[in-house]
Structure 1
């Protein structure tokens, strides 16, 4: 854990958010399966006049509104999460070609998952607020007293089922992401996590839980 000022943390945050969105695009272009929320985003995008990234942004904004009854307060990282990740995902989809060879698609998938884990560690480690989706279950845990495992499972299974029904891509990548993303984030987090005082530190701890 290192000590960094706010400007350096903002740089780390935005780098992490951009890389997170770009690696989402890598998984989309692999066509081998997405994480639950991206299955939802892709499924919705097939039925509305929006790009994948625009659906990511719109979903983040709607989820953020659900924080209001939960009395969950956003940080600057929360707001930037809503905007930057979706924009970066559309950039990635625009510049990445969808390969035909299975081994190239597999490479794109694995690179996307590992890169996504590193990106998640970067923005979590900046300790400037959880993403809107993580904040949703954090708020539900606080308000209901039920476990993190319960609410994450309920939310992610729900969005996965809806996304799959809408045509989102579920495959080996979905399973691989589910079983590896937590350990990948935890492996990178000690390298990039910043030391912050009191209230900011509390936010950072909350975000760290979200990566588990």
Structure 2
């Protein structure tokens, strides 16, 4: 059980890191437009200062408050960690990854970043430690309405993209692609990583049971 818990937290933290990397990669491809939530964060950054990561944390805090009111309970510790870590990691990767000036380079990093984001969401959500504020909102709406994950995520991201655009955030074909297709990818990455984690947990528990069983 102890090793299984370690694996769950490993999936959670590594998934956060991968998701943040993917987000930053798409931001570095901003000539195509950026992801819907990041359109909002960049729009807020351009209007009010701070950093993109800081606005990710602030909007996450607002969503956490709203979902807590709906559910009438505080979110899991993982949700709070996600809210903080994603913002910090975005600012770190934004500093680490150099700016790309060519359209070809920005296109490549944007497309790759979208796939990395989907993998990161699937990996950190799979252990059930606590989805981030935005994914918690997605899961709540999915549960309340019975709609699919891809439908709810797409609807949320289109709404957020419009709000970010009104604030002056960069919207382009890339924004549309993420709004339409990231939810489709996450629809498959979440169950895939859950299956991987289940297999690892079963293997770990099986090995521990064999060790603990006394020889006849």
Judging changes above 3 Å, is the alpha-carbon distance between structure 1 residues 122 and 151 closer, same or farther for their aligned structure 2 residues? closer
Q: Which of 179, 195, 200 is equivalent to 2:198? A: 195
Cα distance in 1 for partners of 2:142, 2:123 equals 24
Aligned counterpart, 1:157: 158
Cα distance in 2 for partners of 1:169, 1:55 equals 15
Q: Is this contact kept in 1: 2:157–2:179, CA < 8 A?
A: no
Which one has a bigger Cα radius of gyration?
2
Q: Note the aligned Cα RMSD (angstroms).
A: 2.5
Aligned counterpart, 1:23: 22
Q: Report the Cα offset of residue 191 of structure 1.
A: 4.3
Aligned counterpart, 1:178: 179
Cα distance in 2 for partners of 1:100, 1:148 equals 40
Cα distance in 2 for partners of 1:183, 1:46 equals 30
Q: How does 1:7-156 map to 2 (within 5 A)?
A: 7-31=6-30, 32-71=32-71, 73-139=74-140, 145-146=144-145, 148=147, 155-156=156-157
Unaligned runs of 5+ in 2: 202-216
Unaligned runs of 5+ in 1: 198-212
Aligned counterpart, 1:201: none
Judging changes above 3 Å, is the alpha-carbon distance between structure 1 residues 117 and 138 closer, same or farther for their aligned structure 2 residues? closer
Point out 4+ residue stretches in structure 1 off by more than 6 angstroms: none
Offset from partner CA, 1:23-61 (integer Å, 9 cap, x none): 111111111222221111111111122100010011111
Cα distance in 1 for partners of 2:22, 2:59 equals 18
Cα distance in 2 for partners of 1:53, 1:115 equals 18
How high is the TM-score relative to the length of structure 2? Answer: 0.78
Cα distance in 2 for partners of 1:102, 1:6 equals 44
Counterpart secondary structure, 2:47: coil
Q: Mean Cα displacement is larger for which, 21-30 or 155-164? A: 155-164
Higher percent of residues as helix: 2
